[in-house]
Amino acid sequence: MVKKNLFKNIEHQFPKKYETLVILNPDIEETKFNNFLDKIKDIMSKNSAEFLNFEDWGIRKLSYDIKKLNRGKFILIHFSAKGSFIQELERNLKISDDCIRFQTVVYTQDIEPKKENKEEVVNE
């Protein structure tokens, strides 16, 4: 009698919320940075992932040198996607010349989508 692993082929078909912290070359130009973000958003749209939020943490000192750099530009990307998308995203981050390091984790707190055309409310 052969035991079958019933859970081996089960894939989650519902999206989860993730966050990816990306460390970029600190000398990246503004146009290359915007192209990098557009590429990430394009990859997400092609793979039915939803871009939720983006935070630019600026240039920070690294704990240790990575690729002979002691500083890096940190960005945090929140998105909702199926688990199979993470492999595709990380594959693209690995081949990017400006990406030094990245880490993707499942995000457990609630995230509200960031509206790009926010109207500022002035308190009188």
Specify the pLDDT at position 124. Answer: 45
pTM for the full predicted model: 0.73
Longest Cα–Cα distance in the chain: 77
Task: Provide the domain limits for residue 63.
Answer: 25-106
> Which parts of the chain have pLDDT scores under 70?
1-13, 109-124
The total of structural domains in the chain comes to 1
Specify the pLDDT at position 10. Answer: 47
CA-to-CA separations, 69 to 55, 72, 123, in angstroms, rounded: 22, 7, 44
Residue 102 lies in a domain: yes
Specify the pLDDT at position 115. Answer: 61
pLDDT one-digit tens code per residue, 47-78: 988 998 889 999 999 999 988 899 999 999 99
* Spatial distance between the Cα atoms of 124 and 118, rounded to a whole number of angstroms: 19
In this structure, the number of other CB atoms found within 10 A of the CB of residue 18 comes to: 21
In this structure, the number of other CB atoms found within 10 A of the CB of residue 89 comes to: 21
Both structure tokens of 65: 């040198």
The CATH number covering residue 33 comes to: 3.30.70.60
Residue 4 lies in a domain: no
